[in-house]
Structure 1
Amino acid sequence: MSGTDAGSPAEPGVLFDELGGRWRTVAYGPVFCVVALVIELLTGPVVHWFALTLFAAILAGIVSVQVAAARRHVSVSLTDTTLRQGSEELPLTDIEAVLPEADPYADEPQRWESARSLGELSGVPRRRTGIGLRLRDGSLVQAWARDDDGLREALTEAVDGGRGTSA
C-alpha cells in the first residue's frame, strides 16, 4: 500500500511517478457492506450476514484484479534515463523533443495526436492526457499521464537537461 502520488519522486533518480491504481480502492466495497450490515443491525429484524459477506468478498476480488491491471498497464515512471509507460520503456536518449500542448480549439488536430501511444494499450488510457514526443528517428508518439502537466514539465527538463550535459 505504500507508494507515491503523481509527480512525487519515490526514490533517487525518479523524476515522475504515477502508480496507475491504488490498493485502498479494494477496501471500498467491503466498507460499504459493513455500513449496510450496521444499518441492518440497528434497524431491521433480518440481518443478511451471508449475502453481505459474499458481496464484500466478490467486490474486493473484482477490484483487486482491476487495481493490479491498472498498476501494470497504466503506471508511469520517469527516471534520469528512461520513460516507462505501462510495460514499455523508452530511453530518454531516443526522445528528440517534447512537443507543445494540443490546442483544444484548433480546427485540425496536431499530427502527434493521432500517433501511437506508448505502452501496450491501443490508445491513451481513460482519464489520461496525451503528450506529443518527437523521437530521434523522426517518428511521433504519445506519452500520457493523469498529471500531464507534471509529466510534461519533468520530461522537458530531463530531455533538455540531458542534451545540455552531452553538448
Structure 2
Amino acid sequence: MSDETRYLERGAAWTPLWYGPGFAVLGALAELATGGPVHVVAWVLVGLGLAAITVPWINARRRFHTVRVTSTALWQGREELRLDRIAEVTEVGTPAGARVLGGGWSVPRNYDELPVRLDDGTVVLAWARDGEALRAAIRSVKGWPA
C-alpha cells in the first residue's frame, strides 16, 4: 500500500513573509508622498528585519501545526499515530485529561478538536482547522462508511 497523502493542512503559508517588506514599501511611499527625504536604506533594513523575524515563526507553525493523513498514519505536528491504532472517530466522548496529539498541553487555538478512541480504549485528542474533513479523511482511509 502506498503512503500517499490523503489529507493535508499546513500550519502556515509563506505569504506573511511579505508583510514586512510590504510595510517598508508603504513607509517609503509615505515619505515620498509627504515630500520629505526618503530613507531608502532604513526602509530596506526594516523590510529585511521584519522578514527575518517572520521566518522562524512560519517555520515553527509549519513544523508543529501541520496535520496530515496518509494511507498509514495520522500526523499531528511531529507526532505520528498509526491508523491501525484508531478504533473510532465518531461519537467518541472527550474524557477529562485526554492527551492531545502533537505534544501540546491543549488543542491549538482556532483548531477543532476531534476525540479519537484507540485500540486499547484510551481517548486522545486530534485537531485540525476543519475537524469534519479530518474525520472524513480518517474514515475514508480506514474504509469506514461516511
Instruction: Note whether the superposition's TM-score is higher than 0.5.
Output: yes
In the TM superposition, what is the alpha-carbon distance from 1:158 to its structure 2 partner? Answer: 2.1
The answer (yes or no) to whether the contact 1:112–1:132 under 8 Å persists in 2 is: no
Q: How many residues align?
A: 143
What 5-or-longer segments of structure 2 have no aligned partner? none
Gaps of 5+ in 1: 1-11, 102-109
Identity %: 38
Question: What is the TM-score with the length of structure 1 in the denominator?
Answer: 0.78
Q: Which residue of 2 aligns with 1:87?
A: 78
Matches within 5 A, 1:53-92: 53-92=44-83
**1:115 & 1:87 partners in 2: Cα distance?**
19
Shift of the 112–61 alpha-carbon distance from structure 1 to 2, 3 Å rule, reads farther
1:9-52 Cα shifts (integer Å, max 9, x gaps): xxx82110011011121111111211221221122312232332
Shift of 1:87: 0.4
* TM-score, structure 2 as length reference: 0.88
Name the CA distance, whole Å, in 2 between partners of 1:121 and 1:54.
35
Partners of 1:112 and 1:80 lie apart in 2 by 28
What is the Cα-based RMSD across aligned positions, in Å?
2.0
- Counterpart of 1:133 (choices 107, 116, 121) is 116
SS of 2:104 mapped into structure 1: coil
